[in-house]
Structure 1
Amino acid sequence: MAGIDRRTALRGAAAIIGGTALGPFAGFAARGEAAPAQHDRPRPTLGPVPDHRDGAVRLWLPDGFEYRSFHDTEAPVVLDDGTRLPGRHDGMAAFRGPRGNYTLIRNHEVNGPGPAFGDAAAAYDPMAQGGTTTVEVTRFGEVVRSYTSINGTQMNCSGGPMPWGSWVTCEETVNGPDVGADFTGVSNVPLRQPHGYVFEVPVKGTADREPVTAAGRFAHESVAFDPREGALYLTEDDFGFASGFYRYTPRQHPMRTGRLGNKGRLQMLKVKGRPNVHLEASLRPGSVFPVEWVDIDDPSPVYPYTPGQPAPTTNNDAISHVARQGWARGAAYFSRLEGATYDRGVVYFTSTQGGGPEETGTGPIADGFGNGHGQIWAYHIRERVLRLLYQSSGPDVLDFPDNVTTSPRGTLVVCEDNTNDNYLRGLTPRGELFDIALNRLVSSTGAPRYDDEFAGSTFSPDGHTLFVNIQASRGMTFAIWGDWRRIGV
Structure 2
Amino acid sequence: MPLNRRMFLRATALAGGTTAFSGALWQRAFASGPAQPGPGPYGPLQAADGNGLQLPAGFTGRVVARSLQRVEGTRHTWHPAPDGGACFADGDGWIYVSNSEVPVVGGVSAVRFDASGKVTSAYRILNGTSLNCSGGATTWNTWLSCEEHDFGLVYETDPRGQKSATARPALGRFKHEAAASDPGRKVVYLTEDQGDGCFYRFRPETWGDLSSGTLEVLVGSGTGPVQWAKVPNPQFWLTPTREQVSNAMHFDGGEGCYYTHGVCYFTTKGDNRVWAYDAAAERLDIAYDDDLVTSGEAPLHGVDAVTATASGDLYVAEDGDNMEINLITTDGVVTPFLRVLGHDESEITGCAFSPDGSRLYFSSQRGKDGFIGGTDGYTFEVAGPFRR
Give TM class, smaller chain: 0.7 to 0.9
Question: Residues 102 and 12 (structure 1 numbering): CA distance in 2 closer, same or farther, change over 3 Å?
Answer: farther
Is 1:386 the counterpart of 2:387 in the alignment?
no
Map 1:326-475 onto structure 2 (within 5 A): 326=245, 329-354=246-271, 374-393=272-291, 397-418=299-320, 420-440=321-341, 448-472=342-366, 473=374, 474-475=376-377
Aligned residues: 365
> Partner of 1:324 in structure 2?
243
> Partner of 2:107 in structure 1?
131
Q: Give the AA of the match of 2:88.
A: F
Per the TM alignment, residue 202 of structure 1 is displaced from its structure 2 partner at its CA by 1.6
- Structure 1 residues not aligned, in runs of 5+: 1-10, 51-55, 112-127, 175-194, 255-259, 280-287, 303-317, 355-373, 441-447
Residue among 265, 288, 298 paired with 2:214: 265
CA distance in 2, matches of 1:226, 1:46: 34
CA distance in 2, matches of 1:398, 1:392: 7
> Partner of 2:7 in structure 1?
none
CA contact (8 A) 2:138 2:181 kept: yes
Per the TM alignment, residue 57 of structure 1 is displaced from its structure 2 partner at its CA by 3.0
CA contact (8 A) 1:97 1:103 kept: yes
Question: Residues 140 and 339 (structure 1 numbering): CA distance in 2 closer, same or farther, change over 3 Å?
Answer: farther
Question: Residues 296 and 103 (structure 1 numbering): CA distance in 2 closer, same or farther, change over 3 Å?
Answer: same
Per the TM alignment, residue 95 of structure 1 is displaced from its structure 2 partner at its CA by 1.1
Map 1:48-447 onto structure 2 (within 5 A): 48-50=47-49, 56-73=50-67, 76-77=69-70, 84-98=77-91, 100-111=92-103, 128-138=104-114, 142-174=118-150, 195-238=151-194, 241-254=195-208, 260-271=209-220, 274=221, 288-301=223-236, 321-326=240-245, 329-354=246-271, 374-393=272-291, 397-418=299-320, 420-440=321-341
CA contact (8 A) 1:158 1:456 kept: yes
Per-residue CA deviations over 1:219-251 (Å, capped at 9, x if unaligned) read 10011111122111100012xx40100011111
**What secondary structure does 2:244 align onto?**
helix
Per-residue CA deviations over 1:40-88 (Å, capped at 9, x if unaligned) read x6651112343xxxxx332110112101112112x53269996543211
CA distance in 2, matches of 1:235, 1:378: 13
Q: Which moved more, 1:76-85 or 1:293-302?
A: 76-85
Per-residue CA deviations over 1:282-335 (Å, capped at 9, x if unaligned) read xxxxxx421111111111127xxxxxxxxxxxxxxx7x7111112xx2101111
CA contact (8 A) 1:422 1:451 kept: no
Question: Residues 453 and 139 (structure 1 numbering): CA distance in 2 closer, same or farther, change over 3 Å?
Answer: farther
Q: CA RMSD in A?
A: 2.7
CA distance in 2, matches of 1:216, 1:132: 20
Question: Residues 451 and 25 (structure 1 numbering): CA distance in 2 closer, same or farther, change over 3 Å?
Answer: farther
TM-score normalised to structure 1 length = 0.69
CA distance in 1, matches of 2:247, 2:96: 39
Per the TM alignment, residue 29 of structure 1 is displaced from its structure 2 partner at its CA by 3.8
Per the TM alignment, residue 205 of structure 1 is displaced from its structure 2 partner at its CA by 2.1
> Partner of 2:369 in structure 1?
none
Question: Residues 38 and 467 (structure 1 numbering): CA distance in 2 closer, same or farther, change over 3 Å?
Answer: closer
**What secondary structure does 1:46 align onto?**
coil
CA distance in 1, matches of 2:47, 2:11: 28
Per the TM alignment, residue 90 of structure 1 is displaced from its structure 2 partner at its CA by 0.8
Per the TM alignment, residue 20 of structure 1 is displaced from its structure 2 partner at its CA by 6.9
Q: Give the AA of the match of 1:346.
A: V
CA distance in 2, matches of 1:97, 1:217: 32
Question: Residues 293 and 32 (structure 1 numbering): CA distance in 2 closer, same or farther, change over 3 Å?
Answer: closer
CA distance in 2, matches of 1:384, 1:137: 39
CA contact (8 A) 1:81 1:146 kept: yes
- Structure 2 residues not aligned, in runs of 5+: 1-9, 367-373
Per the TM alignment, residue 199 of structure 1 is displaced from its structure 2 partner at its CA by 0.8
Large movers: runs of 4+ above 4 Å? 11-20, 35-39, 78-83, 138-141
**What secondary structure does 1:251 align onto?**
strand
**What secondary structure does 1:62 align onto?**
coil
CA distance in 1, matches of 2:132, 2:170: 18
TM-score normalised to structure 2 length = 0.86
Is 1:21 the counterpart of 2:22 in the alignment?
yes
**What secondary structure does 1:353 align onto?**
coil
CA distance in 2, matches of 1:26, 1:63: 30
Higher strand share: 2
CA distance in 2, matches of 1:230, 1:36: 33
